Amino acid sequence: MRTKPTSIKSHGEVDASWSDVYGVSGGPVAFRLGNGGAGPTGLLRHLANRFVSSHAPGHSIPWVCNHSRNTQLALHRDYIDVAMTYEREWELVSVKEGWAVDAGLCFHDHFVVVGPLSNPANLLPGDSPSLCLQKIAASKSTFHSRADGSATMVKERDLWSQVGVTPWETKPDWYTMTTLTPADALVGADGAGAYLLSDRSTVLRQTELGTIRNSTVFYEPTTPDDFLMNTCAMLIAPNAPRLAKEFVEFVKSNETQKFIAEYGRKQVGIPFFASIPSGFAPSKLRGGRSSRGKWESHTGKGQHPFAVLSKL
């Protein structure tokens, strides 16, 4: 454990185990990498393997999976050397407390309001994310929530609070709380015809895997300063290994940022993430759907082909 104390509290157990090992299995450890959401999309594996190939031949990079707040605490407890996290307020706390160094930004993900193609809450294209939730509550449409302390949970509760609703306290029948992973939560909501707050990369990864088919996106960020931008930052330990410091510079390089900006396009037709220079992803998910491993976008011309927003 790092010697400095911290005011950051865990949400659930902080996992110290290795979820996977990238690079050369059995090779000397270059550094230990912590992150939650980007690991299951495959991005971490590609970044780590590219780094090992060019900067650390023969080395391995273990991945430790926790949600954002607990990834910070994994850094504090010396379980990892590099943390990729999504909560700027708490990242700055760790830097101020002196046990983490701000290593810059990595990529942009995007929170998205997802729901069933049938759209029982009658969400409209111009609705803000808070209005979307207000309509869901008013219509008592099924909503699934990740009550796991993740950045997604925090953002969702911020949105509910904006409209004066606290369903995690009142526990209405239409509101279901789980501690599922981002992928399992999305797949579960898709099967149940439920709305939820998810993220762009999870939607597109599950599209690639063919695990969702009944959902669409009703709201997504369209500007870099949107409340639902989900930017990933990098923190490193003050005594991080040399290769950890080289890795964060590798991630921020122009070549790697171009790779991130295109990651997933070949698989599903739309990139999973946005690079730091681009600010947000210009390719849109709203009104589209998963079909045969691709994201089929609504062009906005004529009648919606999937009967999404059919009550307009």
pLDDT tens sequence across 45-98: 999 999 999 999 999 999 999 999 999 999 999 999 999 999 999 999 999 999
User: What is the full per-residue pLDDT of the chain (312 aa) written as tens digits?
Assistant: 566 899 999 888 999 999 999 999 999 999 999 999 999 999 999 999 999 999 999 999 999 999 999 999 999 999 999 999 999 999 999 999 999 999 999 999 999 999 999 999 999 999 999 999 999 999 999 999 999 889 999 999 999 999 999 999 999 999 999 999 999 999 999 999 999 999 999 999 999 999 999 999 999 999 999 999 999 999 999 999 999 999 999 999 999 999 999 999 999 999 999 999 999 998 899 999 999 999 998 755 433 434 444 443
For the chain, state the CA radius of gyration.
19
H or E stretch covering 245: helix 242-252
Compute the C-alpha angle 51/52/57, nearest 5°: 140
Q: Which two tokens stand for residue 72?
A: 């910070």
- pTM confidence score: 0.92
Backbone φ, ψ for residue 215 (5° rounding): -120, 155
CA distance 189 to 185: 6
Would strands 215-219 and 229-236 be described as parallel, antiparallel, or unpaired? Answer: unpaired
Torsion of CA 133, 137, 218, 195, to 10 degrees: 110
